[in-house]
Amino acid sequence: MNPLNRPKLEIPKTRLEKILDWIGAVVFAAWIIYLITVWGDLPAKVPGHYDGTGEVTRWGTNWELLLLPVIAGFLAAFLSFLEKHPEWHNYMNLTEDNIVFQYKNSRMMLNVMKNVTTAVFAYVSWKTVQIALGEAESMGIWFLPVFLTALLGPMIFFVIRSVRHK
């Protein structure tokens, strides 16, 4: 199927997509409320960067904590926009017989990635606050492998699912 003239189909969001969006919105709102709540207790310097083992490699101003929700918000908005246009996504084997499945699968992958990313950014922000307040020492050695698995795992799952459904 020619990528330039793929049909735009009106496929309603699944129940799971709606639930994941709701959870993502609640996590984002709780994250913002948490930052507002602890803002007055934060020291002037907070962790600004971590190495692969989760150790702090740079300290920065507490205002840097605001970058994570801003980036997560823009990323979530952009991925939500792309979710609404599965006809723009890249497909390996799109046919008239599998187009509805492929659109739903691609849209679900973006939905999961959007909400996992929001949750991971919120966790990083929370952990950064904990380190800044002296309640934790580092992200921990398991942060990077868990982070990569959380982001790449769903992507791999949905790509394999797409390839298998010809």
Q: pLDDT tens digits for 27-67?
A: 999 999 999 999 999 999 999 999 999 999 999 999 999 99
Nearest-angstrom CA–CA distance, 114 and 80: 8
Which one-letter DSSP state was computed for residue 12?
P
Name which of 95, 156, 113 is nearest 17 in CA terms.
113
Encoded amino acid at 28, one letter: F
Nearest-angstrom CA–CA distance, 57 and 22: 35
With vertex at residue 122, the alpha carbon angle to CA 75 and CA 145, rounded to the nearest 5 degrees, is 90
Q: pLDDT tens digits for 69-102?
A: 999 999 999 999 999 999 989 888 888 899 999 9
Token pair for 123: 């966790």
CB atoms within 10 A of CB 163: 10
- Confidence class for position 1, pLDDT limits 50, 70, 90: low
Average pLDDT over residues 142-156: 94
Token pair for 103: 């659109």
